Amino acid sequence: MTGGTGWPSVSVVICCFTEARWDLLLRGIASVQAQTFRPEQCVVVVDHNDDLYRRLGLYHRLTGALLGVEVVENSGPQGLSGARNTGVKAATGDIVAFLDDDAEAAPDWLARLVLLYDDPDVLAVGGRVEPVWESDRPTHFPEELDWIVGCTYKGLPRVAAQVRNVIGANMSFRRDVFERVGGFNASLGRQGNRPLGCEETELCLRASMGSPGTRVVYEPAAVVRHHVPATRGTLRYMLARAWSEGVSKAQVTRLLGRSETLGPERRYVRRVLPRAVLAGIRACTHDGDVGGLARAGVIVAVLAVTAVGYLQSLWEASSPQMRVSSSVLYRLIRDTSGGRPRD
């Protein structure tokens, strides 16, 4: 199945930044080439890494494996937002779909996404992101916190449903959305030593606000599998990523000026997390699963650190003196985590 027969055409954008993910990147590209719904175009954007850009070119000349793949360099600011915007500029399809450089798409991924665009009110469609752990899932890492590793978390809808925003590793937009409201906000994402995120959240909100009555849809049947290194299962990484999430959500709130944009987070905190904590305690007391108690404790810790990051960022915006303490707090969390998280 392809575009041009009553179906919209699709451009797939994969952004990459490091040779350390070389094998994962090639598997991701191959998964796009193997789609049952063939994309019009596959664009690989290299984020300011000359060695990686040259290596991709040499690999194609030697193997021919990247036939039909356009490899371009990020023409914008360094970072995921700039790379994605470069991919959008190169895209020619009616729909622009994004796949992470450490993810593989199921063969029917695009077919599942495209079906939802039959409704003209649908602006964006995202799918399920399943974690593929480098080693086994840590016993202290509950599925309710899989957003920390960029994956679908327990609590999201189990069937196709309207949502506020899509997940970055598995998302698609009508190309005219970018023409109407602009691209991903470069003020979000990595800024120096501060790894922010939520670019896709802000874009979905901006697009929806600009076109009342339209919808963003989550289709869990559209699946990609996302590689998760063992280092991202540590408590220290989880807390560093939680702090960054809080800061990012505060930034989105400031940019859009609407506190109600955090409605899904409030529902998640009120409904999903309490059940998860109780389930963890029950697993420990009733079944002797010590990991259950660890999961409950981790949920509480992650929630607390996320809230601190959010409030700290809001205070920082209102008081320049707070900027120093905010930076010190992040460095403390980052240094104990053994590195800077980047999805």
CA distance 304 to 277: 14
Whether 85 is covered by a domain: the verdict is: yes
In a 13 Å sphere around the CA of 91, the CA atoms on its Cβ side amount to 30
Q: What is the pTM of this model?
A: 0.89
CA distance 141 to 295: 6
126: phi then psi, degrees, rounded to nearest 5 = -120, 165
Taken in order 235, 241, 247, 250, the sign of the CA dihedral is: negative
pLDDT of residue 285: 85
Mean pLDDT of 285-290: 82
Whether 263 is covered by a domain: the verdict is: no
Mean pLDDT of 267-295: 88
CA distance 1 to 37: 5
pLDDT of residue 175: 97
| DSSP state letters, 297-326 | HHHHHHHHHHHHHHHHHHHHHH-TTHHHHH
Residues 6+ apart with CB under 8 A from 268: 155
pLDDT of residue 336: 45
Mean pLDDT of 219-231: 97
In a 13 Å sphere around the CA of 217, the CA atoms on its Cβ side amount to 25
Q: Which domain holds residue 174?
A: 10-233
* Helices of type H across 175-234: 175-181, 199-210
Whether 90 is covered by a domain: the verdict is: yes
How many domains does the chain contain in total?
1
- Does position 261 have pLDDT exceeding 80, yes or no? no
Summary count for the chain: helices (H), strands (E): 11, 11
We report the CATH number of the domain holding residue 192 as 3.90.550.10
Residues 6+ apart with CB under 8 A from 280: 142, 292, 293, 294, 295, 296, 297, 299
79-95 pLDDT, tens digit each: 999 999 999 999 999 99
7: phi then psi, degrees, rounded to nearest 5 = -100, 150
- Does position 137 have pLDDT exceeding 70, yes or no? yes
- Does position 253 have pLDDT exceeding 90, yes or no? no
Lowest-confidence range among 93-102, 194-203, 317-326? 317-326
Angle between helices 199-210 and 80-90 (to 10 degrees): 50
285: tokens are: 């007391």
Whether 184 is covered by a domain: the verdict is: yes
Residues 11, 96: contact at Cβ < 8 Å?
yes
What is the separation, in whole angstroms, between the first and last Cα of the chain? 32
- Does position 111 have pLDDT exceeding 70, yes or no? yes
Nearest 10 degrees: CA dihedral of 191, 156, 158, 208?
-70
314: phi then psi, degrees, rounded to nearest 5 = -65, -40
Name the strand (E) or helix (H) holding 104.
strand 103-105
Three-state secondary-structure class, residue 72: strand
pLDDT of residue 65: 94
- pLDDT bucket at 265, cuts 50 / 70 / 90: confident
pLDDT of residue 340: 44
- pLDDT bucket at 200, cuts 50 / 70 / 90: very high
Mean pLDDT of 232-238: 95
Whether 274 is covered by a domain: the verdict is: no
187: phi then psi, degrees, rounded to nearest 5 = -80, -15
Mean pLDDT of 43-64: 97
294-319 pLDDT, tens digit each: 999 999 999 999 999 888 888 776 65
CA distance 164 to 179: 20
DSSP, res 93:
S
What's at 182, amino acid-wise? G
- pLDDT bucket at 194, cuts 50 / 70 / 90: low
pLDDT of residue 149: 95
155-190 pLDDT, tens digit each: 999 999 999 999 999 999 999 999 999 999 887 765
Residues 142, 234: contact at Cβ < 8 Å?
no
pLDDT of residue 322: 45
